[in-house]
Structure 1
Amino acid sequence: MRVLVVKMSSLGDVVHALPGVTDAARALGDRVRFDWVVEEAFAAIPARHPAVDQVLPIAWRRWRGDLRRHRAELAAFLRSLRAQRYDLVVDAQGLIKSATVTALARGTVKAGLSRASAREGLAALAYRRRVAVPKGGHAVDRVRRLFAGALDYPAPAGEPDFGLTPAARPTGRCVLLHGTTWQSKHWPERFWIDLAQRAGDTLEVVVPWGNQAERERAERIAAAAPARVLPRGPLEALIDELAGASLVIGVDSGLAHLAAALGVPTLVVYGPTSSALTGSRGARARNLQAGFPCSPCLARQCRYRGPPQPVDGMPVEPACFATLTPERVWRAAAELAR
C-alpha cells in the first residue's frame, strides 16, 4: 500500500505526526510505505523516518504572497504530486490548504479528520474517509488516532515512537532554545542569561537562532554568560546538534518538540500554551507549566492586566513566567540530565 501523508507545517506539528507513521508501519509491516508533503523548510524531518520513501517539498509559505510570480514552481510541485497514484492520501493537518493538496493528489481513497474534529471543518469535504477524533486531547495522540482510523488498525496505547534515530552520545553541551513566534511564549531574556550562567558551570552552553531578532538575543545571552552562539545553518545540521546534546531547555517551540522526539533530555517551559495539549513527548522529556491563574490562555499576545509579578525586584513579562524562575527551571533540568 502506497500512502501519501499531507502534513505541511509547522515544525512542531510535523514532529507530532511522526508517531502516526511509526504506528502504521508496525501494524501493517511491509504492506505499507509512505511519501510525505511538507513545507520545504521542514523536509529534513520526515526524511529521517525509515518508513518514508519520498518527501515532496512544498513552498506554500513562500508562494502564497504572489502565486503568479511562483507559478512555474507551483506547476512543478503539482507534477511531482500527481506523478504517483496512491492507495490512500491522509490529510494529517485538517486545514483548507492541506485539504486542497489532498484533493489534488491522485489517490484511490482520501482520508482526514471529520468536520467536527478538524481545525477547519470545511476541509472534511475533501475526504471520502472521515475519522472522528475528539478535540481536547494531546496533538500527538489525536494524530495517532487519525492514522489508525484512516488505515484501519486498532489505535495503539503507550508512549509514542517518533521513528527517529536515537540521540547520539552526549557531547557535554546544553542547547538553549529561546526562539518562538509568539510574543507571549518568550521567557524573559534575563532569565535566559541567568540560566546560561547556571548551566555553564558544568556544560558547554550553545544558543541557536533563526532570525535577526533571535540572533541579537542570542548574542546578548552569550555576552553575559559562558555561552556560544551557533552559526545559522540548515535544519539538518541543527538536528544533529540537538541529537548530540546532553541537555536541551526551551520554550514551547518546534525545535523543543524535535529535541524531545530525538530522545534527548529536554525541558520545556509552558506559559500561555498548554502542556496537556501540546506538551513535548519523548522518553526523556519533561514539561513545566506555569502556575498562574490565567495560564494557559492560548493567546499569542499577553492579555494580563493585573498587578506586576516581580522576580528579584523586577516585574516579569509575560507575568505567568514569574512562576517559572531560572532557579526552578535549572533544578528541574539538572535532575532530568542525570
Structure 2
Amino acid sequence: MKNILVVKLSAIGDVIHALPVSYAVKETYPDAHLTWVVEKAARPMLEDNPYIDDIILFEKEKFRSVGGFLRAIRPFRRRLRVRRYDASLDLQGLFKSAAITFNAGAKLRIGTANMREGAHLVSRPVAGAHAAGHIVERYLDVARALGCRVNEVRFPVCVSPRDAAAADALLAREGLAGERRFVALAIGANWPNKRWPVEHFAALSDRLYRAHIVPVLVGGGRLDEILAADIMAAVEIPPINLVGRTNLKQLAHIFRRAALVLGGDTGPVHLAAGLGTPTVMLMGPTDANRNGPYGQLDNAVEVDRFCRACWKRACPKGLDCLAAITPDAVAAKIGAVLRM
C-alpha cells in the first residue's frame, strides 16, 4: 500500500473516534502516504498528527447550490487526485463521503458496516467482529479489513507547545497553577437531550467545592455561553468559567491536567476519554455500548428510562432526558472514579 485515503468529515466526536485508524494504518504500513478528508470544524483534531501525511479540507457549504457545486467540484477533484490511491476507507458512510470516495478513484474501496444514502454502492461495507460494539472498534474493523494490525489503540492528539503554554497560562490566571485538583464540566452538546440540566450542574459544582475540588466549566459557542451564565447564576460558589476561552487543542491540554472530565455524549468528552483522562459520561438518547467513553465504559451513567438509547435528537415524549440522572448519583460516580 503506497497511498491510502481516509474520509471522515465530521462531527468532532466522530473524528476523534476515528483517530486510532491513522495509527493502525501506519503501524502496519509505515511507508504509506495517508491522506484524510475532513470538514473545517474537526480539522484541528487532525493537525500535527504524525500518522497523517496530508489533510484535504471539504468545504461543504460550497457544494450546497448548483452554481457552487459547479464552481467547486473541479478544483476539489484535482486536489483529491494529486495521488493515485490504492485504497480508500469511508468512515462516514453517507452520500457526501461516497461522492468523495468515488471521485478519488481508489482501487480498493471499503467502509463501515452501516452505510446509508447509497454509500454502500460505492464502497464495500465491512461487518467486522465489532459490528455491534463500540464505534471506535467499528472504525478499526475497516482498518483490519485493509490488513492492518491493531496491536494498540492509540488516539494521536498532538498539542503544540504554544497551545499548551496558553492553556497553562489560562489555568494559572484562574488560580489553578501547580497541582490543585479540578474537574472539567463539559456543559453543552449538539442534541438538546444530550445536555444535563443547568441546575444539576450547579448543584454538582457546589458539591465539588465542598469536596475541595475546583469545578471548571468548558465548552464553546453562544449556546454554551448561555448555559454557563445560567449555571453561574444558580450556584452558591461560582465555578471557574472557561467556556469560549480555549481552542480544541488547548482544551485537550486542560483535560490532560484535569482529575476528571464530566459531560454528555459530545466531542470534548470523547476527547477526554481518548486522552486517557478519567471520564464520566451522562447518557440518555445514545447507547453506551456504541458511544460511551472508550476504554472506560463503566464510567457511563445511563438514564433509568425504558426509552433510553432511542437515538432521537429531541424527545418525542417531551421529557428532559437526562434530568432523571441526579447530582447525587453523579457525585457518587465521581467519588468512586476518583476513589474519594
User: What is the identity, as a one-letter code, of the residue corresponding to 2:214?
Assistant: E
* TM-aligned CA deviation for residue 43 of structure 1: 0.9
Any unmatched runs of 5+ in structure 1?
306-316
Aligned alpha-carbon RMSD (Å): 2.8
| 3-state SS, counterpart of residue 44 of structure 2 | coil
Relative distance call for 1:240 and 1:185 in structure 2 (3 A) is same
Which is strand-richer, 1 or 2?
1
- Which residue of structure 1 lines up, in the alignment, with residue 122 of structure 2? 126
- Which residue of structure 2 lines up, in the alignment, with residue 109 of structure 1? 108
- Which residue of structure 2 lines up, in the alignment, with residue 38 of structure 1? 38
Give 1:212-291 correspondences, 5 Å limit: 212-223=222-233, 224=235, 225-230=237-242, 231-282=244-295, 286-291=299-304
* TM-aligned CA deviation for residue 121 of structure 1: 5.8
Q: Verify the 8 A CA contact 1:18 1:49 in the aligned structure 2.
A: no
TM (normalized to structure 2)?
Answer: 0.82
Question: Quick one: which of 192, 199, 207 aligns to 1:198?
Answer: 207
User: What is the identity, as a one-letter code, of the residue corresponding to 2:338?
Assistant: A
Question: Quick one: which of 182, 186, 191 aligns to 1:173?
Answer: 182
1:185 paired with 2:180, answer: no
* TM-aligned CA deviation for residue 161 of structure 1: 2.5
Q: Verify the 8 A CA contact 2:303 2:322 in the aligned structure 1.
A: yes
State the alpha-carbon separation in 2 of the partners of residues 334 and 102 from structure 1.
46
Relative distance call for 1:325 and 1:176 in structure 2 (3 A) is same
Any unmatched runs of 5+ in structure 2?
169-177
Q: Verify the 8 A CA contact 1:271 1:290 in the aligned structure 2.
A: yes
Relative distance call for 1:162 and 1:170 in structure 2 (3 A) is farther
Q: Verify the 8 A CA contact 1:280 1:287 in the aligned structure 2.
A: yes
User: What is the identity, as a one-letter code, of the residue corresponding to 2:101?
Assistant: T
State the alpha-carbon separation in 1 of the partners of residues 209 and 238 from structure 2.
6
Relative distance call for 1:282 and 1:45 in structure 2 (3 A) is farther
Relative distance call for 1:283 and 1:319 in structure 2 (3 A) is closer
User: What is the identity, as a one-letter code, of the residue corresponding to 1:5?
Assistant: V
State the alpha-carbon separation in 2 of the partners of residues 235 and 337 from structure 1.
25
* TM-aligned CA deviation for residue 102 of structure 1: 0.8
Q: Verify the 8 A CA contact 2:13 2:266 in the aligned structure 1.
A: yes
| 3-state SS, counterpart of residue 52 of structure 1 | coil
User: What is the identity, as a one-letter code, of the residue corresponding to 2:96?
Assistant: K
1:152 paired with 2:147, answer: yes
Q: Verify the 8 A CA contact 1:16 1:139 in the aligned structure 2.
A: yes
**CA offsets per residue over residues 290-334 of structure 1, 9 Å max, x none?**
2222222222112337xxxxxxxxxxx525541x21111122123
State the alpha-carbon separation in 2 of the partners of residues 195 and 24 from structure 1.
42
User: What is the identity, as a one-letter code, of the residue corresponding to 2:192?
Assistant: Q
Give the percent of matched residue pairs that are identical in Structure 1 and Structure 2: 30
**CA offsets per residue over residues 122-155 of structure 1, 9 Å max, x none?**
212223x542347432211111111111x1246x
State the alpha-carbon separation in 1 of the partners of residues 322 and 200 from structure 2.
13
Relative distance call for 1:75 and 1:240 in structure 2 (3 A) is farther
State the alpha-carbon separation in 1 of the partners of residues 245 and 68 from structure 2.
28
